Structure 1
Amino acid sequence: MATMTLRGIDEKTAEALKQRAQQEGTSVNAVTLRLIRESLGLDKKKRVVTYSDLGHLAGTWSKEDAAEFERNTAVFEKVDEELWK
């Protein structure tokens, strides 16, 4: 396996590589190698999906948390008969 030095990386690119590495939980070196291999067609590009919903919270409540939520939102289940006359 060869060792190479890459010179002339501008600050914007270096920062983008650092951010990507942090997002992926890996090193800048690993991100750079993967991006080079993908751009050369040596590796298939991995699909990275970023969600902005609350799906990561699904299933994380304890039984106690769920019971507390039910108690605190029970009032919303009551129908005010006066409003429906």
Structure 2
Amino acid sequence: MQGVIKAYDPSTGIGVVVRDTDLAEFDLAPDALEGSVFRMLRQGQRVLFDLEGSEATRLRLGSEVDMGTPSFLTTAGDSEPA
């Protein structure tokens, strides 16, 4: 799944990620950063993650294709400005 970091406290490791598809919020699991390239997270940072129960786990970076704009943000019939 892909989402955006809503909040993260580096001193406690407590954080929240918002899933792109439905804007559902998930707490970060205590070990969410273990084995990842992340040592710190910032608000608004885009990530890929897995769910275990109601917690986000296994945070990682995605490729450009993985991190594309979710389809729910586009509206049929929109046209580009002339």
Query: Is this a same-fold pair by TM over 0.5?
Result: no
Q: So what's the TM-score if we normalise by structure 1?
A: 0.26
Larger radius of gyration: 1
TM-score w.r.t. structure 2 length? 0.27
Question: 1 or 2, which has the higher strand percentage?
Answer: 2
Pick the structure with more helix per residue.
Answer: 1
